[in-house]
Structure 1
Amino acid sequence: MSAESTPGPHIPEPPTTAAGRRGRGRRRKPPGSGRRALRVTAWTAAGVLVLGGTGVGYLYLKLNGNLRTVDINQMLGSDRPAKVDNGSENILVLGSDTRSGANRKLGGGADDGSARSDTAMIVHVYKGHRQASVVSVPRDTLIDRPSCTDAQGTTHDAATGVMFNSAYSTGGATCAVKTVESMTGIRMDHYLEVDFSGFQKLVDELGGVTLTTTEAIDDPQSHLDLKAGEHTLDGQQALGLVRTRHGVGDGSDLGRIQLQQAFVKALIHQVEQVGVFTSPKKLYDLADTATKTVTADSDLGSVNSLIDFANGLKSIGAQNMHMVTMPVRYDPSDPNRVVVAEAKAKQVWAALRDDEPIPASATKGTATGQAEGVVTSS
């Protein structure tokens, strides 16, 4: 259900970018099934607007103050791929495995202040903002990391044959973006990061996410024990699902990625079912949690910017998202690591640069993790 069709307080139309603007007098098409990709950001807008009254200014400032930002453009300067002005957008989305604060228990490690990119997805939004491709990058991929400077101004030397997720742990968001741009030759227009504890709380506030497992999943390391069948996962179980690797497929990171991709689609479907816009309190609670959970690049680092960004993506439903894993093959010297299948990966990056669909040949015959179909939307 969209805010426009919700009974109750009138919600003003948020400001739109050129991509999201429509002419006067045109009737909005009813939203399709599967709902909206990255819809979490829309809760920020609705949480401010739906409450109305004299408290709007305070609530706006509170939500705005929740956001954490990093100025990727300033830190990277001109040493990066050129912007492609064809109406498409590329967003690097990371799930951070931070071993401090509320994440210490969730991460399962010592409070040593370290952090890793536990999940990495390159989201390509096609011109017109009605289709998207999502390319998951396995964290165990051996890559060449470029030199980079972290937020404290410390420069880290380039390294060869290191795991992909070491880029984030070495130099934070800036190094992760620079590494992805070096690998792909594609400029990342935006950066979004979600942490463990915020992810868990968001799922709980949604009332859980319903999905079906086609086989049992038992992984003591991620504290996940699910029988085959339909489940409504709470936040802790959802976190266990997107982190499990030993309970499915071949036990690799590739199998975990297949579960993550299936969960993202189930999450998008769940947002449609919950009807968050019918409850101002639920809406605000979700907005408050979402803005505390997300770290964004400075171009997205305000409530207004997130409103515009979400508005530009609102026509993309789960059925319009093509999700793949970056083409890789198992490292012959270490089965716990993978290396980029260069020729096939080039097909993926070329398709995204040209704003074209990713060809099936780009991922055919590559390592998969053997967990496809274990989780489906209910």
Structure 2
Amino acid sequence: MADDNTGAGSSRPGRIRATGRHPKAPGARRKALTVGAWSAAGLVLLGGAGLGVAYFQLNGNLKGVDINSALGTDRPRNVDNGSMDILLMGSDSRKGVNGKYGDDDGGARADTAMVLHVYEGHRKASVVSIPRDTVVSRPECRKTGGGTSPAVQRAVFNESYAIGGAACSVKTVEKMSGIRMDHYLEVDFTGFKKLIDKLGGVPVTTGEAIKDRSSRLDLKPGRHTLSGEQALGLVRTRHAVGDGSDLSRIQLQQAFVKALITQVKNVDLFGDPGKLYGLADTATRTVTTDSDLSSVNELLSFTRGLKSIGSEDMRLVTLPVVYDKADPNRVVPLEKQGRQVWNALHQDRPIPQSATKGAAGAPSDASDVVKSS
């Protein structure tokens, strides 16, 4: 990937390597889900145009959240420059079948959220991971169960989802970035696993053994085709690689999503109509979207707009942060570098390499642990 191309960044020493706006585009917790699932949720539907009348059955699977009505006019200006911004999130509710991953503590929270910026022309993209333990200024939000939660100057990012679900998460990201989110996509534990299994697994190569009891992952060095359960374990792993921090886990997630996108591109969906329908059925049952995407026609149109973007066309970074002096279990954004990141996306420009210099977690402590096979 070239450093000076829009949305494309080269692998730098110390980083994990993996080969693997605003008018609508023509044509788309704790330890939980990763961007890999969120990308799969959209990309796996790329061949859906061949499903014909089956989309009527799939339409009833989708769940939508009316973000526009919930947030009203208190949002950043809608910049009409041909780019698109999507908030991708995972939820870690431990209810029902997700209970095997831990006790239900009264509500779901957000795992690492990611802002996907698709550049004008829809041939390149940048992804910005927001660590779940980032200290942010959270705006006033409507509570999921009714009532209002007042604005808080020092709040943990992933609490926004616990308080007000998708709408509060979008509002918090928009306040942080100054960028209006065009769309929202969310997946949970079980949905992630099902998508990976329906896809036939994701090939990766591990450069060292990864064994983490907490995430239930045990991989020897070498080539693997990860099942849904193994993939979920990988993207939840933090204690077995690097310094054991959430920032190392994010970089594992970023490596996995590149491998996932490569695998999606390599699968011949049209060659197996049954598999195509199974993937589409699983994806539509799995994702929660904003109401503008909550029909199969709109979701297919959205994903067709992403079909030209491969793993080599994506630059993935983590929001520049440092550990919080008041609480080493929290991170705080580096204001100058963070503004470089958000300004670049707002202007539909590449994220400068200087934006991540001096940030915690860069270069990666989990270097070369995972690559696509």
Fold match, TM over 0.5? yes
Instruction: State which drifts further: 357-366 or 224-233.
Output: 224-233
Tell me what 1:98 maps to: 93
Confirm whether residue 196 of structure 1 aligns to residue 197 of structure 2: no
Deviations 1:129-158 (A, max 9, x none): 111000000001111211111444421111
Mapped partners of 2:39, 2:237: distance in 1: 23
Shift of 1:245: 0.8
Structure 2-normalised TM-score?
0.87
Q: Give the paired residue count.
A: 339
Deviations 1:249-289 (A, max 9, x none): 11111001000000000001111333222111111111010
Mapped partners of 1:144, 1:18: distance in 2: 29
Opposite residue 307 of structure 1, the aligned amino acid is L
Mapped partners of 1:134, 1:180: distance in 2: 14
Q: Report the 3-state secondary structure (helix = DSSP H, G, I; strand = E; otherwise coil) of the residue aligned with 2:111.
A: strand
Q: Report the 3-state secondary structure (helix = DSSP H, G, I; strand = E; otherwise coil) of the residue aligned with 1:358.
A: coil
Shift of 1:242: 0.5
CA separation of 1:196 and 1:343: change in aligned 2, threshold 3 A: same
Equivalent pair of 1:44/1:288 in contact (CA under 8 Å): no
Shift of 1:332: 2.4
Tell me what 1:141 maps to: 134
CA separation of 1:142 and 1:363: change in aligned 2, threshold 3 A: same
Confirm whether residue 156 of structure 1 aligns to residue 157 of structure 2: no
Tell me what 1:65 maps to: 60
Instruction: State which drifts further: 86-95 or 367-376.
Output: 367-376
Shift of 1:227: 1.4
Confirm whether residue 82 of structure 1 aligns to residue 77 of structure 2: yes
Mapped partners of 2:95, 2:257: distance in 1: 25
| Counterparts of residues 145-224 of structure 1 (less than 5 Å) | 145-224=138-217
Confirm whether residue 315 of structure 1 aligns to residue 315 of structure 2: no
Shift of 1:61: 2.6
Opposite residue 109 of structure 1, the aligned amino acid is D
Tell me what 2:34 maps to: none
Runs of 4+ that moved beyond 6 A: none
Opposite residue 134 of structure 2, the aligned amino acid is T
In structure 1, the gaps of 5 or more residues are 1-16, 22-36
Tell me what 1:49 maps to: 50
Shift of 1:49: 3.1
Mapped partners of 2:43, 2:211: distance in 1: 35
Equivalent pair of 1:150/1:174 in contact (CA under 8 Å): no
Larger radius of gyration: 1
Shift of 1:163: 1.3
Tell me what 1:109 maps to: 103
Q: Report the 3-state secondary structure (helix = DSSP H, G, I; strand = E; otherwise coil) of the residue aligned with 2:96.
A: coil
Q: CA RMSD in A?
A: 1.8
* Percent identity between the two aligned chains: 62
Mapped partners of 1:284, 1:113: distance in 2: 35
Equivalent pair of 1:96/1:193 in contact (CA under 8 Å): yes
| Counterparts of residues 218-297 of structure 1 (less than 5 Å) | 218-297=211-290
In structure 2, the gaps of 5 or more residues are 1-22, 28-37
Mapped partners of 1:143, 1:169: distance in 2: 15
Deviations 1:186-238 (A, max 9, x none): 11111000111010011111111110111111110001111111111111110
Shift of 1:373: 2.3
Mapped partners of 2:342, 2:206: distance in 1: 32
Deviations 1:22-44 (A, max 9, x none): xxxxxxxxxxxxxxx94643544
Opposite residue 49 of structure 1, the aligned amino acid is G
Mapped partners of 2:44, 2:341: distance in 1: 32
Q: Report the 3-state secondary structure (helix = DSSP H, G, I; strand = E; otherwise coil) of the residue aligned with 2:91.
A: strand
Mapped partners of 1:367, 1:227: distance in 2: 28
Opposite residue 355 of structure 2, the aligned amino acid is A
Opposite residue 84 of structure 2, the aligned amino acid is E
Mapped partners of 1:266, 1:327: distance in 2: 24
CA separation of 1:252 and 1:84: change in aligned 2, threshold 3 A: same
Mapped partners of 2:252, 2:127: distance in 1: 14
Opposite residue 319 of structure 2, the aligned amino acid is M
Mapped partners of 1:322, 1:45: distance in 2: 21
Mapped partners of 2:181, 2:171: distance in 1: 9
Equivalent pair of 1:42/1:306 in contact (CA under 8 Å): no
Q: Report the 3-state secondary structure (helix = DSSP H, G, I; strand = E; otherwise coil) of the residue aligned with 1:218.
A: strand
Shift of 1:366: 0.8
Tell me what 1:304 maps to: 297
